[in-house]
Structure 1
Amino acid sequence: MITHPLENLDPAQHVQVLPRHLVGPGVIDPRAAWHFPYDEGWLFAQIDDGTAAAFSPCLRLQTTYEPKPDKGTWTISAHRTPYTPPDFTPPAWWITFDATTPVELLHDVHTELLDLYLEDLHSDQDRLFQDDTPPHEAYAPLLTRGWSHAVKTGGTQTFLTPDGLGAVRHRYDISGSSGPAWRAWGGHPSEPYWRAHFSFGTPTTLVAAFTASLISTEPLQRTVQDVPVHTRRALYVATPTGQQPHGNTPVAPPPPAPASGRTR
């Protein structure tokens, strides 16, 4: 009987794993995920139950983490005018991630968010609200990594991972729709382990940062016990680090490089 490398390792052992959409959330730390320059006017607050929030100096950008017994949520929201609680004005755009989303993806999106903020701050641009980046900047890299592509007449196109355990869906027809412009998930399609939603108006640059991080071939470090059990057989394991495995443990090879060109 062939076993997966993770099945022979100590649960507390650290491993380097891919693909990113199946590795689990990792260590949830809002300060590490956001990584804003708090000594330059960014505000940060966290209460005892773990709920955390950060605000840009202009108070137009807000990002929060709300832990919940079932899953929890990360949320980014942007307002055209300074947001001051209890202001209930709907944001111009928003992004949500399940707390089970790999935290490195969160970090990369927030890093790009800070770059956009600083770019707007030192120029006459307003890319946080008028980003002209075309949608293909976000989805073309998926095609080069071997993701499949399906288009529906209802105005959506879906990009599916080669293993079928992750996807990004783009609604290109914005007429008569109040749902998100972009959706992404990882895990079995019928019961994803994590989901992400990007509303209409979200800068495509942020979506592109998310998809670039999602398909990155740089392995992420996890402990064996933190890797989702129901999808771990689809993982590639790099050389384990930390504690030694029980017995001789085979290591899965890295994922093969996909063929160039688009998959339809």
Structure 2
Amino acid sequence: MPSAAPVLVQPLRLAGPGDRRLVTGPLTALHGWSSTRALEGGTRFTSPCRTAALSMDGDDGSPVAWTVHGYTRPGAEPLWRASFSSGTPAEIVAAFTTALAADLSARHRVGLHRSGTPASVLADRGWRPSDHSPKGFHDQLAPDGWALYRHRLGHQPHEDEVARLVQPTWSILAGSPHQPSWYAEFTIGTPFHPLTRAAAAFSDPEPVLRCADEVPARHLARVTVLRRPSDRSTRQPGPVEASRLHLPPSRPAPAARRR
């Protein structure tokens, strides 16, 4: 099989970055976000209400990192930050950004729905508390031990988190817990519905489409290649098609679960 042949890989969190259009397509084609080239490089996408902005850092030939900032009003200092390092699967970033864009569009028309908590979604998929959480943190570990969801205990000023002066309130890490292949950080104030959707994608057991040479070499022993897809399933998605993410339905969270 040629190295670039399309394959179906699971789990998603170890499958490699994937197609960045899964992130950018829904924002521009469905939700009306504008895009501009940033002075420092990369591309910036801004919501129509100008209270959220996504920065895409990286060239066509290099890995892409993503940062989302939220604002109380246009021109204000950032209220919260969500960042995804290079190597983060596009499906996970898209789960967050698409939910955020949909919630911003619906804010003035209907009440926003609730979808449980990241911890409850992960617990339902067999993620369990770690016995080796660092002091001041609560970790949930994936069944295979190669990913975790981390909740920092205690309070820190939101501006210190946004400025990266202290550890974020929530983070997800994939790969070895001591040397993650990629990570995402979410500061206090991050909207909880998009965060929960990102956690759902992070733990999604369904396979995703990748070229065989896109899977990171360090993950090859940890992923399963199910089969070679048909020609129809290997067609590259368009901007609107890219928004059709596979995520479990939203549902209320048990009251006793930890966030």
Contact 1:146 1:162 in 2 (8 A): yes
1:114 paired to 2:70: no
- Structure 2: segments with no counterpart, 5+ residues: 232-259
Find 1:45's aligned residue among 36, 39, 50. 36
Per-residue deviation, 1:16: 0.5
TM (normalized to structure 1)? 0.74
Distance 1:153 1:53, change over 3 A: closer
Task: Pick from 125, 146, 154 the counterpart of residue 145 of structure 1.
Answer: 125
C-alpha contact (below 8 Å) 1:13/1:242 kept by paired residues:
no
Partner of 1:75: 67
Letter in 1 for 2:67: T
Residue 200 of structure 2 aligns to a residue whose secondary structure is helix
> Cα distance 1:12–1:24, how it changes in 2: closer, same or farther (>3 A)?
same
2:14 is aligned with what amino acid? L
- Cα distance in 1 for residues equivalent to 2:209 and 2:32: 32
CA, structure 1 residues 189+55, in 2 after alignment: closer, same or farther (shift >3 Å)? same
Is residue 14–residue 242 contact of structure 1 (8 Å, CA) maintained in 2?
A: no
Matched, 1:64 2:44: no
Which of 76, 79, 83 is the equivalent residue of 1:96?
A: 83
List 4+ stretches of structure 1 deviating above 6 A.
Answer: 47-50
Q: Aligned letter for 1:33?
A: V
Which digits, 9 at most, give the CA deviation of each residue in 1:144-192, with x for residues without a partner?
A: 2222213758442101112211111012422578421111111122321
Counterpart residue type for residue 220 of structure 1: V
In structure 2, which of residues 100, 114, 138 is the aligned counterpart of residue 157 of structure 1? 138
Instruction: Give the superposed CA RMSD.
Output: 2.9
Q: For 2:14 and 2:35, how far apart are their aligned partners in 1?
A: 30
> Are residue 226 (structure 1) and residue 214 (structure 2) matched?
yes
Change (3 A) 1:47 1:153: closer
Q: How many residues are paired up?
A: 221
1:1-264 correspondence to structure 2 within 5 Å? 9-29=1-21, 32-34=22-24, 35-38=26-29, 41-46=32-37, 51-67=42-58, 72-83=64-75, 90-123=77-110, 137-150=117-130, 154-174=135-155, 178-241=166-229
Measure, in 2, the Cα distance between the counterparts of 1:48 and 1:153. 39
Query: Compared with structure 1, are the counterparts of its residues 16 and 154 closer, same or farther at alpha carbon in structure 2 (3 Å cutoff)?
Result: same
- What secondary structure is seen at the aligned counterpart in 2 of 1:121? coil
Question: Cα distance 1:189–1:114, how it changes in 2: closer, same or farther (>3 A)?
Answer: same
> In structure 1, what residue type is equivalent to 2:36?
A
Q: Distance in 1 between matches of 2:226 and 2:173?
A: 24
Q: Supply the AA of the counterpart residue of 1:10.
A: P
In structure 2, what residue type is equivalent to 1:147?
Answer: W
AA partner of residue 142 (structure 1)? L
User: 2:39 and 2:5 mapped to 1: Cα distance?
Assistant: 29
Q: Deviation per CA, 1:94-130, whole angstroms, max 9, x where unpaired?
A: 100012100011111111101210221324x6x7xxx
TM-score, L = length of structure 2: 0.75
Query: Which whole-Å CA distance do the structure 1 matches of 2:141 and 2:186 have between them?
Result: 17
Gap change, CA 1:111 and 1:41, over 3 Å in 2: closer
Is the 8 Å Cα contact of residues 138 and 205 (structure 1) preserved in structure 2? no
